[in-house]
Amino acid sequence: MTSDHPVSQIDETVHQRYRLGIMAFLSGVERADFRTAREELGLTDGNLNRHLVLLADAGFVDVTKVAPEGKRTRTWLSLTPAGRAALDEHVRALRSIIDSVPDRT
């Protein structure tokens, strides 16, 4: 039971809607802080954290905590080269699927 349908190229780590949103957002910036990403996506701290753990474990997102002396810790997020490659592949698979939908307009 094999198929070369583009759905078979979809990585669930990237496809989950919030993780796709996080990776797409990070693809357009050098890095973003946790609060900015949280507000961009409309997620709670807990939910964003949960998705970041999965993305970091996959090697797709780098999470770096920076604590300048006397200032509050900031958590910086950035897409890794592996994350960028996975996102590009995912975008290709999605385009292939959605381009197969006949346009009704």
What is the pattern of x (binds its own copies, CB under 8 A) and - over residues 15-54?
x-xx-xx--xx-xx---------xxxxxxx----------
Q: Does 58 bind its own copies (CB under 8 A)?
A: no
Residue 25 or 76 with smaller CB distance to its own copies:
25
**Rounded to an integer, what is the distance from CA 51 to the centroid of its chain?**
9
- Pick the binder of its own copies from 12, 65, 67, 68 (CB under 8 A): 12
Residue 1 or 67 with smaller CB distance to its own copies:
1
